[in-house]
Structure 1
């Protein structure tokens, strides 16, 4: 079951659609569920809603397998996505990848603080959640902002997945933050990256993998259960994301 409603984002002074998946037996059982927060909410559950027409199709998948988790998808603001999903303005590594200097980024802190201080309390009050079992997952820039959230609120987001992450946008600052952060409370961290993220641009694809590997090398020194997969021939699109997301879900939601 999917519930869709607007929520006001105070720091951005605007409403944003929130999509909440509830397990099939949600109204039949008096129990509480772990919560997974995801970015790019339009692309999480249904193809009809997805930007580009292809989603992760999580609504159908979760109904089929009966995984007991509440998934909260936060719609992207397409015009401001890079600003909201990047905590800092793009740096030199970004210039190396993109081939130009970008001034985008810098609203990521406000975005994550909204999730923690406004959205999570609302969700915990409205639904039967396990307040201390909260995960976060994101794709591309969503992986970048999820990793930032783990650093800023490691006691809240204890399970994280960063899929085909565009870390390069904030590579230098993110590495500094990771090195200085206490991540001992994080239980599980999943990262992956395809070998053809930039499709025909082999050099950029190589740098994409190097960027992700650099983040992984820092994380594995700080978190006991970190998994990093380099996926041969995988490209940066939802055909490939959808194919591997069921395994990622199992990693994030599996009971301990």
Structure 2
């Protein structure tokens, strides 16, 4: 049964009942789908943010899909109570220029997050020792291919059916942070005919180093870089057709990302991608691995990807 919870973007408070269709309202809103089922991955919540003029216009909108969806709007469900506040940033962009408006679809994570967000293709490219370690630390083999099939074959068709979207690849984007950045890069490689751009903030290229583990310096850096570049060499879309934003900070977990990102940047350049045109790679000195840091720089990847 279709059950959609209406929330206001300003208060983040759920309405007392479920709405079978989009209600009339004057402010921006978030509609939450509870425990959306899938044939390919575990059920999960999905939140849909609509631009301020959605109810008063007849226009169609580009769509930005975001991972870790409980962390991107109000802080009530966000990790540590901190959110990206993507709604506020998108509302400001739309106020500057109506053509910047876009629908934001937040796909919540589950307890299978590590498996969902570990790219299957990169896992397959690992040597046997590194692959065994990744599977052990993630609690199982990669489920990314199933997760992406949910996005592409089930969720996107529903969003395009129920909302006034521009459904073409040039109007469809994907974004996330940490392992959400990793799966965003994987999505544009596996589905270049679906997504025109990917935002990969603090991309967790190491995969096996999370939490405090990175402090022990046992990340198998060179072996992981080999797996990543092997995959990208085979699957990176041809240049001139897509845009990818990648970045990282310099504090805590972000402090170990530089060698991975440098190798990825070199692969992009070798494949003919132009920095500043087809891809962007930034370092934010002093930035940490958390929602507050990603919120602080969110305007820049959005401007690069969405114009």
Give the structure-2-normalised TM-score. 0.73
Contact 1:138–1:163, Cα closer than 8 Å, also in 2: yes
When you count strand as a share of all residues, which structure comes out higher?
Answer: 1
1:128 to partner: Cα distance:
0.8
* Equivalent residue in structure 2 for 1:126, among 159, 162, 165: 162
Structure 1 residues 41 and 171: CA distance shift in structure 2, 3 A: farther
Q: Distance in 2 between matches of 1:124 and 1:39?
A: 18
Give the structure-1-normalised TM-score. 0.87
Deviations, residues 204-248 of structure 1 (Å, cap 9, x unaligned): x24x21112212221233434111001112111112111001221
Supply the RMSD in Å over aligned alpha carbons. Answer: 2.5
Output aligned runs, 1:95-106, within 5 Å.
102=137, 104=139, 105-106=141-142
SS at match of 1:72: strand
* Equivalent residue in structure 1 for 2:185, among 137, 143, 147: 147
**1:137 aligned to 2:191?**
no
Structure 2: which 5+ runs fail to align? 1-28, 95-99, 208-223
Match of 2:289 in 1: 236
Structure 1: which 5+ runs fail to align? 200-204
Deviations, residues 18-68 of structure 1 (Å, cap 9, x unaligned): 111111001111111111111000001111121210010112232234240
- After TM superposition, the structure 1 stretch with the greater mean CA deviation from structure 2, 174-183 or 137-146, is 174-183
User: Which stretches of structure 1, 4 residues or more, deviate above 3 A after TM superposition?
Assistant: 88-92, 98-101, 170-174
Match of 2:299 in 1: 246
SS at match of 1:10: coil
Q: Distance in 2 between matches of 1:238 and 1:213?
A: 23
Structure 1 residues 138 and 103: CA distance shift in structure 2, 3 A: closer
Q: Distance in 1 between matches of 2:226 and 2:39?
A: 29
* Equivalent residue in structure 2 for 1:71, among 95, 104, 115: 104
Q: Distance in 2 between matches of 1:48 and 1:250?
A: 27
Q: Distance in 2 between matches of 1:20 and 1:99?
A: 32
Match of 1:194 in 2: 249
